[in-house]
Structure 1
Amino acid sequence: MNADQIAKTLGTLKSLRLPHESVWRDCFDHSYPIRGSGFCTEQISAIEAQMRKARMIDGTTTDAARILSSGIMSGLTPANSLWFGMDVGQETEDERRWLDDSADILWQNIHASNFDAAAFEGLIDVVCAGWFALYIDQDMEKGGFTFDLWPIASVYASASKAGGKIDTVYREYKLTAEQAINEFGEENVSDNTRKLAKDKPQEMVQFVHAIYPRTTHMVGARLAKNMPIASCKVEVEAKKLVSESGYHEMPVVVPRWMMIPDSVYAVGPVFDALPDARTLNELCRMDLAAGDLAIAGMWIAEDDGVLNPRTVKVGPRKIIVANSVDSMKPLQSGSNFQYAETKIARLQGSIRKILMADQLQAQDGPAMTATEVHVRVNLIRQLLGPVYGRLQTEYLQPMIERCFGIAYRAGILGVAPESLAGRNFTVRYLSPLARSQKLEEVSAIDTFIQGALVIAAVDPTVMDNIDMDEAQRFKGEALGVPGSVIRSSADRDKIRADRAQAQQDAMEQQQQQMMMQQAGEAAMKQQGAAA
């Protein structure tokens, strides 16, 4: 693609995104105004964000969105426990050991980077607007990974396959003329940018970064221009291609919450809570106005020739001169604070329910029993299960594939067994939310085995229906038991074989002792008969 084609494609993508922008702006304005930078103004300042925040009379939507984002974050990618593994299917012990070690190295490097901060802000964007764009690359200075959360106002997306994942991303951004020269080289930028770098080095220049799949590429390419994912940077005003490169994997993950029909974009749960959030904000504004009347009071005054209602001021230690005490009287405001409080509480509860904050937040009261904990975890699983499925496909899977590719090419995963060459791995999720989805299966296994044991008292052959080894291994994996605790199938079989051999040796030794004892007794009988 040349610079003109990229510029035309950018214009098309802008027109396709434009109808949805006002909805995202409203969602951000009622939850996290500062995250909507670019939708309301070109770049929102802290003062502008503060003014927009001040227009939010009630903060329930913000608090509920934060709780939901935190719940998804802790359920998907907890920083304190390994939340994924890798499988290739029918792997040997050496292959399993290398895959487990690689998963642990990746997990450590992911959380040693800025991932936790970037991912949390990304999930806030997902809850508010329904999508986010996270750029993943190698940290060239310190090593490891770097995660750059792009403001979604500057990102335009598309999918090369109908109904498929987003694989085309255009991002608009600005650099100073000096930064542009340092990044792309003086010979690659336009004449105008070279002139600005000398005269006005801090003048901003607009660029677009286009990332899209190449129609033709080389397998295992070493040159960036031959890699499967193209990366082109264009100086917008001059329509000049300043950089062309590529990636082995898609470097940008764009997960979505709930798809907008006939579009690659999405909306988040704040969209569902938006009518209640608007009503709540307006009701709280009226409640404040009524409160001002209730505190300051409302008066009626008569212009009786002595009292001038247009200039009179009511306040402490003031004497109001009037012709009669009836010339000025307080009025009842007519405000119904009880109704306002009930309606506000109902709207707040509705918003928290839509954003699942009423279930995700720790409940007040005495400590829950094990049964209550299980029921609540099951409820959260049902609430977040569908969301988790989409995030797993569009967020975690491509992110781990990208991180694995970077780490493997850097050599930090060591040499893989030759038997893994050409075999694709699948991600095995071990996060709390993934494990909670298997709790019902664990409970079903326990119930099934207990029922079989009862029947086995009458008919022992019923236990032949249960593979106890496989049941225990499945339960261990579902409950998140570390792999180092569970013996491999080969080690288990060896222990059983050694135990069986030891028992056989003991039996043979016992038989030999009995035979020797019998032979000795027979010899003693013969000696007694001869005597």
Structure 2
Amino acid sequence: MVTFAKPKGEKLGDMIAKRHAQLEDIRNPAEALMNEALSMTAPGRGLITSGNTVQGQKYGADVYDDIGIESLGIWADGIHSNHASPALNWFLFKFADRKLNKVQRLKIWLESVETEIRSTLNKSNFYVQFNAFLRDGGSSGTASMWLENNERREVTDLIIPHPREIFIARDKYGFNNTVHRKYKMTLAQAREEFGEKNLSDEMKISLQTNPYTEREFILAIYRNDDPMAKLWPPLIRRRPYVTAYIMIDSDKKQMASGSNDDGTLMKSAEDSLNPIIWGPRRNSDEVYYRSPAMDGIVSINRANTFGMLDMEAAQKFVNPSFMAPEGLRGKISLIPYGGTYYRGSIAENQIKELFTPQLWQLSEEQRRVLGQYVKNYFHVDLFQALFAGGIDDKVMTATQYLGRRDARATLMTPILGGINFALSQFFDRFLRIEFDEDRLPPPPQEFWDLADGSFNVEYIGPLAQAQRRLASAMNIENALEKLGLAAQLFGPAITDGVDPYLLADEIMDNSGLPEKIQVPFEKRIQAGQERAALQQAAIEQEQANTENIQVDSLSKVVGMKAAG
């Protein structure tokens, strides 16, 4: 059996620093395209390779056409507003164990959890940070989302690191199994994160003189089957992921820490991969994701080049190049109403244009076509169609609007497949944190009896809800319409194949009717049986009354005949 052992004299912190250098080599080929996409669609975010950034620095000096910036904004805002809007009940939960979804008390409790989570998301910074998460994915291709329990605010908050901070590797199935985050923290933040005892003596001294001094750190996350994970204590590596922090110097070498003699500042473990790494798509032979901005970079650069040429042409027309005698150097005034004074003849001092400039400008149609090439990569027309339709939209009812929105939402399946997976991971971790911190409504006894206290639920997003509503409505309407036609030919007995109670369940569930206002299935059956019994009794009573009337009539007839 082959075992993993660290080289003699090498600390865990040194090994993490070496592993990070290897991860940097993996990302290096992708950085040029990531930088180009960021500079053309999200210049304010900064570049991947910018190193020491200057806060408040001006970005976007090389952008002459903002169609890339505009398209990314519509793309990110379109996904955000249609897929995770605080104005909508955009998510539902279902138990992973299907039999639990049939227990009404558990379903009512899960709906109360949904209500609580909606309130918690409004309290947290989710809706602010989620848009930044989408913009990172739409521009650089690779976005990351960290979830942490904010004890001061008693809520789970999000951190969206810059794409330059994230380094990843993946397993043979294409799932991320290694994540490094290289970023800077002030010494005050480091003390808050690690505790003062884990800081080196040098850091403690600097902390007293200037707590805002920045140092560079690496957070390393490995799956517990990684050979490196064997260097963590056995109790820690029982969990799926192990983590460690180190501090590095300008030469990317591990620096000494405080209490740990292995070169790490802190070691721990996680039940799931934190952060959540997402991108719109990823090629099977690549580690990093690709974005609409990367796919459309040729069209974006073409629009930007024409924008630059358009500006240059206008500048040359207004301020053309000229040629003048050497004697007039520094004496020519080209400002409005400016005067240039000279001695001698005009011929000796004449100022001439190098060429006769022509006013060349892009037409509105040319601008539209160039812009449309870029918009196609970001599906701008699709997102705009989700809010606007034909002329008849002005007179649509709310039900008609929702139906049309559901139908159009199904067209977003290729776009939203990846983000649905990321949101599923998000809710898995978010719910676990809230559940562990005892911030969710207390579960009923059935939760402990049937689920063994295991909180395992599935996220159902707006796309899945729309598809389910649309498919269910079409199937039910189609079946009932055909059964109605068949009943006219063969009689009402043909509808005996439809259980009205199960049909009602299907309609109520897919229409989103809250479980707490639905009558339990057993009570509905009992009420139906009682109603059927009353109807049968009424029929029997009516028959008895009819028979009595007939007997009375017959008796009268017999009496009249006897009297006659």
1:410 is aligned to 437
> Do the aligned partners of 1:193 and 1:205 also contact (CA within 8 Å) in 2?
no
> Do the aligned partners of 2:424 and 2:459 also contact (CA within 8 Å) in 1?
no
Give the Å deviation of 1:353: 1.9
Matching of residue 337 in structure 1 with residue 345 in structure 2: no
2:76 is aligned to 69
Give the Å deviation of 1:433: 6.6
TM-score (norm 2): 0.79
Return the alpha-carbon distance in structure 2 between the equivalents of residues 94 and 158 of structure 1: 43
For residue 202 of structure 2, what is the amino acid of its counterpart?
N
Give the Å deviation of 1:121: 0.6
TM-score (norm 1): 0.83
1:502 is aligned to 534
Classify the secondary structure of the residue corresponding to 2:197: coil
| Unpaired stretches in structure 1, ≥5 consecutive residues | 218-222
- Residue by residue, what CA displacement relative to the aligned partner does 1:26-74 show, whole Å, maximum 9, x if unpaired? 1110011222355323335222xx2x22321221111111111111112
Give the Å deviation of 1:265: 1.6
Classify the secondary structure of the residue corresponding to 1:368: helix
Matching of residue 99 in structure 1 with residue 123 in structure 2: no
Q: 1:439 aligns with which of 443, 447, 470?
A: 470
Matching of residue 4 in structure 1 with residue 33 in structure 2: no
Deviates more, 1:366-375 or 1:271-280: 366-375
Matching of residue 253 in structure 1 with residue 299 in structure 2: no
Q: 1:24 aligns with which of 23, 34, 51?
A: 34
Classify the secondary structure of the residue corresponding to 1:157: strand
2:255 is aligned to 238
2:93 is aligned to 85
Classify the secondary structure of the residue corresponding to 1:386: helix
For residue 176 of structure 1, what is the amino acid of its counterpart?
T
Matching of residue 55 in structure 1 with residue 62 in structure 2: yes
1:385 is aligned to 413
> Do the aligned partners of 1:128 and 1:270 also contact (CA within 8 Å) in 2?
yes
For residue 281 of structure 1, what is the amino acid of its counterpart?
N
Return the alpha-carbon distance in structure 2 between the equivalents of residues 513 and 363 of structure 1: 64
Give the Å deviation of 1:107: 2.9
For residue 127 of structure 1, what is the amino acid of its counterpart?
G
Deviates more, 1:270-279 or 1:514-523: 514-523
Give the Å deviation of 1:128: 0.9
Matching of residue 190 in structure 1 with residue 218 in structure 2: no
Classify the secondary structure of the residue corresponding to 2:264: strand
Q: 1:36 aligns with which of 36, 46, 50?
A: 46
For residue 532 of structure 2, what is the amino acid of its counterpart?
A
Deviates more, 1:16-25 or 1:310-319: 310-319
Return the alpha-carbon distance in structure 2 between the equivalents of residues 365 and 44 of structure 1: 48
Q: 1:229 aligns with which of 241, 246, 255?
A: 241
Alignment of 1:3-402 (within 5 A): 3-47=13-57, 50=58, 52-82=59-89, 83-87=91-95, 88-90=97-99, 91-159=102-170, 161-215=171-225, 226-236=238-248, 237-238=254-255, 240-296=263-319, 312-314=332-334, 315-316=336-337, 318=339, 323=346, 332-337=356-361, 341-361=364-384, 362-363=387-388, 366=391, 368=393, 378-379=407-408, 381-382=410-411, 384-393=412-421, 395-402=422-429
Seen in structure 2, the aligned counterparts of structure 1 residues 61 and 476 have a Cα distance that, compared at 3 Å, is farther
Seen in structure 2, the aligned counterparts of structure 1 residues 295 and 379 have a Cα distance that, compared at 3 Å, is farther
For residue 98 of structure 2, what is the amino acid of its counterpart?
G
Return the alpha-carbon distance in structure 2 between the equivalents of residues 457 and 300 of structure 1: 95
Return the alpha-carbon distance in structure 2 between the equivalents of residues 4 and 298 of structure 1: 60
Seen in structure 2, the aligned counterparts of structure 1 residues 313 and 363 have a Cα distance that, compared at 3 Å, is farther
Give the Å deviation of 1:16: 1.0
- Residue by residue, what CA displacement relative to the aligned partner does 1:243-280 show, whole Å, maximum 9, x if unpaired? 12223333321122110332332011111221111121
Return the alpha-carbon distance in structure 1 between the equivalents of residues 389 and 66 of structure 2: 20
Return the alpha-carbon distance in structure 2 between the equivalents of residues 138 and 234 of structure 1: 22
Seen in structure 2, the aligned counterparts of structure 1 residues 428 and 185 have a Cα distance that, compared at 3 Å, is closer
Seen in structure 2, the aligned counterparts of structure 1 residues 214 and 274 have a Cα distance that, compared at 3 Å, is same
Classify the secondary structure of the residue corresponding to 1:235: strand
Return the alpha-carbon distance in structure 1 between the equivalents of residues 429 and 162 of structure 2: 21
Deviates more, 1:184-193 or 1:462-471: 462-471
Return the alpha-carbon distance in structure 1 between the equivalents of residues 434 and 215 of structure 2: 34
Return the alpha-carbon distance in structure 1 between the equivalents of residues 54 and 509 of structure 2: 47
Return the alpha-carbon distance in structure 1 between the equivalents of residues 371 and 466 of structure 2: 31
Return the alpha-carbon distance in structure 1 between the equivalents of residues 149 and 530 of structure 2: 49
Return the alpha-carbon distance in structure 2 between the equivalents of residues 374 and 523 of structure 1: 65
Give the Å deviation of 1:360: 1.2
> Do the aligned partners of 1:127 and 1:270 also contact (CA within 8 Å) in 2?
yes
Return the alpha-carbon distance in structure 2 between the equivalents of residues 132 and 484 of structure 1: 39
Give the Å deviation of 1:206: 2.0
For residue 138 of structure 2, what is the amino acid of its counterpart?
V
For residue 94 of structure 1, what is the amino acid of its counterpart?
R
- Residue by residue, what CA displacement relative to the aligned partner does 1:99-135 show, whole Å, maximum 9, x if unpaired? 2222332232123211001111101111112221111
For residue 337 of structure 2, what is the amino acid of its counterpart?
P
Return the alpha-carbon distance in structure 1 between the equivalents of residues 478 and 141 of structure 2: 40
Give the Å deviation of 1:473: 4.5
Return the alpha-carbon distance in structure 1 between the equivalents of residues 127 and 167 of structure 2: 24
Seen in structure 2, the aligned counterparts of structure 1 residues 108 and 293 have a Cα distance that, compared at 3 Å, is same
> Do the aligned partners of 2:409 and 2:463 also contact (CA within 8 Å) in 1?
no
> Do the aligned partners of 2:168 and 2:180 also contact (CA within 8 Å) in 1?
yes
> Do the aligned partners of 2:409 and 2:466 also contact (CA within 8 Å) in 1?
no
Return the alpha-carbon distance in structure 2 between the equivalents of residues 113 and 424 of structure 1: 22
Classify the secondary structure of the residue corresponding to 2:49: coil
Return the alpha-carbon distance in structure 2 between the equivalents of residues 186 and 422 of structure 1: 37
Give the Å deviation of 1:226: 4.9
For residue 144 of structure 1, what is the amino acid of its counterpart?
V
Seen in structure 2, the aligned counterparts of structure 1 residues 197 and 347 have a Cα distance that, compared at 3 Å, is same
2:3 is aligned to none
Give the Å deviation of 1:310: 8.6
> Do the aligned partners of 1:33 and 1:53 also contact (CA within 8 Å) in 2?
yes
For residue 232 of structure 1, what is the amino acid of its counterpart?
A
Deviates more, 1:442-451 or 1:25-34: 442-451
Return the alpha-carbon distance in structure 2 between the equivalents of residues 525 and 359 of structure 1: 82
- Count matched residues: 516
> Do the aligned partners of 2:167 and 2:179 also contact (CA within 8 Å) in 1?
yes
Seen in structure 2, the aligned counterparts of structure 1 residues 475 and 278 have a Cα distance that, compared at 3 Å, is farther
Return the alpha-carbon distance in structure 2 between the equivalents of residues 182 and 518 of structure 1: 95
> Do the aligned partners of 1:125 and 1:132 also contact (CA within 8 Å) in 2?
yes
Seen in structure 2, the aligned counterparts of structure 1 residues 151 and 319 have a Cα distance that, compared at 3 Å, is closer
Seen in structure 2, the aligned counterparts of structure 1 residues 289 and 445 have a Cα distance that, compared at 3 Å, is same
> Do the aligned partners of 2:23 and 2:169 also contact (CA within 8 Å) in 1?
yes
Return the alpha-carbon distance in structure 2 between the equivalents of residues 409 and 247 of structure 1: 13
Return the alpha-carbon distance in structure 2 between the equivalents of residues 228 and 327 of structure 1: 82
Seen in structure 2, the aligned counterparts of structure 1 residues 131 and 183 have a Cα distance that, compared at 3 Å, is closer
